[in-house]
């Protein structure tokens, strides 16, 4: 076993430059001794934090922000770290923070979540892979595209008209690919999930009855999206959300604020391997409003790397929910 004094780590420093919304990464060697040491490896990498124009008003100016970041892979503890709160002006300023990366690490995923520091609510999420052991991403840099979770394309609000005029208080169904929300929980096969009311209780999520999949819902946990950026094993997907929560030992199996689910969205995409990461923002109230949620999708990677839905690309996301 190596002694603590000889164990080295690489340190990942990120610099956020507000004017160009660019990040720079440096991997430096660091020993546990207070004496300066020569870097085990020194690579200057530029990282672009793209797609922030949609949250620029919150990122720049007087607003306070924070960044949650997490590395998943060999040697990692699986806990996110927080940098902030911080504020920047529209034309000047920078923010730096470090992430310790084990020198012997293999493939990893860096997940990021940009929050409003006053509410701790997410503004955008993104993720990218790296593998220092194989030299990736290399001197060309690491690009992390951030996807908004505050726009109507990726935030579905079923509380616009509370009370008896609300269309969704007794159930609803949704398609991630089409951004289509309909009242009721029995819908056409193009829909992915349904929210079903339980008499005397709240709502639960169900694989839409018209779905070609039987078990499409996996419960990941309750908390921050950055901590649940993964696709679980097939054995953790169920037809009903309460089955997943019960299997995970959750005390409350109905929907709760902060619940995070991985949903197979193959049905509306008509392509296998599509997943949506869904976080409940309001569990809904039977007879008044339906559940509300934020989400991101990806059709090629097992984490929420940036990808646009078709309605987002076409600028046709509904303003009505």
135, pLDDT greater than 90: no
248 and 207 in a common domain: yes
167 and 141 in a common domain: no
Buried b / exposed e along 2-36 (16+ C-beta atoms within 10 A): eeeeeebbbebebebebeebbbbbbbbebbeeeee
- Within a domain: residue 318? no
282 touches 257 (CB < 8 A): yes
pLDDT mean across residues, the chain: 77
- Within a domain: residue 17? yes
40, pLDDT greater than 50: no
- CATH number where 25 lies: 2.60.40
pLDDT of residue 288: 87
| Number of compact structural domains in the chain | 2
225 and 111 in a common domain: no
46 and 115 in a common domain: yes
Neighbours of 202 (CB within 10 A): 17
297 and 275 in a common domain: yes
166 and 117 in a common domain: no
Neighbours of 140 (CB within 10 A): 9
160 and 82 in a common domain: no
In this predicted model, what pLDDT tens digit does every residue of 75-103 receive, in sequence order? 555 678 787 787 765 444 445 556 666 65
* Cα 186 to Cα 193: distance, rounded to the nearest angstrom: 10
184 and 68 in a common domain: no
* Cα 171 to Cα 181: distance, rounded to the nearest angstrom: 11
Task: Specify the higher pLDDT residue, 266 or 176.
Answer: 176
Which residues 6+ apart lie within 8 Å of 233 measured at CB? Answer: none
Last residue of a domain, one of 133, 148, 163: 148
- Within a domain: residue 320? no
Stretch 230-247: mean pLDDT, rounded? 96
- Within a domain: residue 321? no
Which domain, by its residues, includes 255?
155-313
In this predicted model, what pLDDT tens digit does every residue of 2-28 receive, in sequence order? 333 333 443 444 444 333 333 333 332
In this predicted model, what pLDDT tens digit does every residue of 140-168 receive, in sequence order? 556 778 899 999 999 999 987 766 667 89
139 and 42 in a common domain: yes
In this predicted model, what pLDDT tens digit does every residue of 194-228 receive, in sequence order? 999 998 789 999 998 877 788 999 999 999 999 99
* Cα 223 to Cα 242: distance, rounded to the nearest angstrom: 17
pLDDT of residue 55: 72
Threshold 0.95, pTM exceeds: no
- Within a domain: residue 319? no
35 and 173 in a common domain: no
Supply the Cα-derived Rg of the chain in whole angstroms: 21
Last residue of a domain, one of 127, 148, 169: 148
pLDDT of residue 71: 82
160 and 299 in a common domain: yes
pLDDT of residue 149: 94
Stretch 228-233: mean pLDDT, rounded? 94
59 touches 17 (CB < 8 A): no
159 and 214 in a common domain: yes
* Cα 24 to Cα 13: distance, rounded to the nearest angstrom: 7
* Cα 109 to Cα 131: distance, rounded to the nearest angstrom: 9
Quick one: 40 exposed, middle or buried, by C-beta within 10 A (0-12, 13-18, 19+)? middle
* Cα 88 to Cα 252: distance, rounded to the nearest angstrom: 40
* Residues of the chain above pLDDT 90, percent: 40
In this prediction, residue 189 has a pLDDT band, given cuts at 50, 70 and 90, of low
Last residue of a domain, one of 148, 174, 192: 148
């Amino acid at each position: 076993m190596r002694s603590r004094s000889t164990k080295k780590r690489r340190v990942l420093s990120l610099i956020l430059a507000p004017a160009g919304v660019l990040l720079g990464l440096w991997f430096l060697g660091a020993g546990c001794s207070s004496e300066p040491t020569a870097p085990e490896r020194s690579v200057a990498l530029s990282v672009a934090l793209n797609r922030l124009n949609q949250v620029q008003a919150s990122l720049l100016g007087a607003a306070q922000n924070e960044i949650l970041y997490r590395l998943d892979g060999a040697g990692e503890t699986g806990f996110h770290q927080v940098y902030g709160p911080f504020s920047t002006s529209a034309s000047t300023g920078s923010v730096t923070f470090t992430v310790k990366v084990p020198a012997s690490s293999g493939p990893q995923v860096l997940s990021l979540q940009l929050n409003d520091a006053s509410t701790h609510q997410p503004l955008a999420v993104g993720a990218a892979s790296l593998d220092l052991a194989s030299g990736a991403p290399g001197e060309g840099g690491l690009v992390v595209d951030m996807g908004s979770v505050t726009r109507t394309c990726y935030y579905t609000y079923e509380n616009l008209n509370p009370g008896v005029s609300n269309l969704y208080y007794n159930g609803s169904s949704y398609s991630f690919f089409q951004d289509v929300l309909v009242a009721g929980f029995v819908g056409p096969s193009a829909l992915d999930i349904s929210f079903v009311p339980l008499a005397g209780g709240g709502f639960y999520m169900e694989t839409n009855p018209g779905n070609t999949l039987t078990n499409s819902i996996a419960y990941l946990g309750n908390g921050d999206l950055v901590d649940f950026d993964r696709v679980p094993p097939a054995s953790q997907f169920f037809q009903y959300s309460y089955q997943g929560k019960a299997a995970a030992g959750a005390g409350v199996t109905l929907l709760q604020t902060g619940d995070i689910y991985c949903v197979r969205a193959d049905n509306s995409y008509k392509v296998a391997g599509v997943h949506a990461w869904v976080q409940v923002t309001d569990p809904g109230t039977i007879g008044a409003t339906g559940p509300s949620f934020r989400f991101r999708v990806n059709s090629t990677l097992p984490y929420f790397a940036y990808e646009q839905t078709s309605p987002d690309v076409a600028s046709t996301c509904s303003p009505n929910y």
